[in-house]
């Protein structure tokens, strides 16, 4: 399969690129900065299966140009993993919030995936077993709201609603659309104390894309191992 991954040069995105390439997929690695992308992605042994793609999710022109480039060079894609994300204003109280940083959070975590799907969906619709995976978080669960990380949590809740709406929109096709909680994993965002391994999370996500794991729940918000998450 040909799979687009945003934020592919670090953290979970890098793990997804590695696991996808190891499983024989062609990875279109969306990166905001080509220089940083080359430094990390070319270290992977399977870098011949990985194509760097300039893609800044907060810039619609960048996303549009990336989609045109993929159409011209590859014709179609089989999956999108909207992985690019930020966690800003961590642990800030409501009185302390910098609303400009809140806006940046939504630009990346919520509007970013919308831009990507808007421009890449026509390339995805060409296939008959395609997938859209939006990397969400348990922080986006209204049921389990913990009263902090206002910008991040709210952006992921909005992302979950977008996933639900999108799932309804493509319901007549054989396309899977999920918001996935990746777990607390060791990345720059998750920190060193996190118990989870991004490679294991990536394997679970690819099991879902490859339809090796049957998702019984009608809920579009699931964990990386396929279990339903509370909305």
pLDDT, mean over the chain? 93
Q: How sure is the predictor about 38, in pLDDT bands with cuts at 50, 70 and 90?
A: low
Q: What is the pLDDT of residue 37?
A: 63
Domain-located, residue 210:
yes
20-46 average pLDDT score: 81
60 pLDDT above the threshold of 90 = yes
Establish if 200 belongs to a structural domain: yes
pLDDT tens-digit series, residues 80-135:
999 999 999 998 999 999 999 999 999 999 999 999 999 999 999 988 899 999 99
Q: Is the pLDDT of residue 139 over 80?
A: yes
Provide the 8-state DSSP code for 25. P
| Ramachandran quadrant class, 52 (left: phi over 0; alpha: psi -120 to 50; beta: rest) | beta
Give residue 17's domain range. Answer: 2-223
pLDDT of residue 184: 85
| CATH number of the domain residue 152 falls in | 3.40.50.720
Residue 229 in any domain: the answer is: no
Residue 172 has pLDDT above 80, yes or no: yes
Residue 20 lies in a domain: yes
222 close to 228: Cβ distance less than 8 angstroms: yes
In three-state secondary structure terms, 54 is strand
pTM listed for this prediction: 0.95
Please give the tally of structural domains in the chain.
1
**Position 230 in a domain:** no
Q: Is residue 137 part of a domain?
A: yes
The predicted structure's pLDDT at residue 216: 82
The answer to whether residue 228 is domain-embedded is: no
The reported pLDDT for the residue numbered 212 is 95
What per-residue confidence (pLDDT) applies to 190? 81
């Amino acid at each position: 399969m040909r799979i687009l991954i945003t934020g592919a040069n670090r953290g979970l995105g890098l793990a997804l690129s590695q696991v996808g390439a190891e499983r024989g997929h062609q990875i279109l690695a969306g990166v905001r900065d080509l220089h940083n992308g080359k430094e990390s992605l070319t270290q992977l042994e399977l870098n011949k299966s990985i194509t760097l793609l300039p893609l800044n999710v907060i810039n619609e022109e960048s996303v549009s140009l990336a989609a045109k480039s993929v159409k011209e060079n590859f014709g179609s894609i089989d999956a999108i993993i909207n992985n690019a994300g930020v966690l800003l204003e961590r642990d800030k109280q409501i009185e302390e919030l910098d609303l400009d940083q809140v806006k940046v959070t939504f630009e990346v975590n919520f509007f970013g995936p919308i831009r990507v799907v808007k421009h890449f969906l026509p390339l995805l619709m060409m296939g008959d077993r395609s997938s859209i995976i939006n990397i969400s978080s348990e922080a986006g669960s209204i049921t389990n709201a913990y009263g902090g990380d206002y910008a991040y949590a709210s952006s992921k809740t909005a992302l979950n609603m977008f996933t639900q709406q999108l799932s309804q929109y493509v319901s007549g096709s054989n396309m899977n659309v999920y918001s996935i909680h990746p777990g607390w994993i060791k990345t720059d965002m998750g920190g060193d104390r996190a118990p989870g391994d991004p490679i294991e999370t990536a394997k679970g996500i690819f099991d879902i894309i490859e339809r090796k794991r049957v998702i019984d729940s009608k809920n579009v918000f699931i964990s990386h191992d396929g279990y339903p998450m509370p909305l």
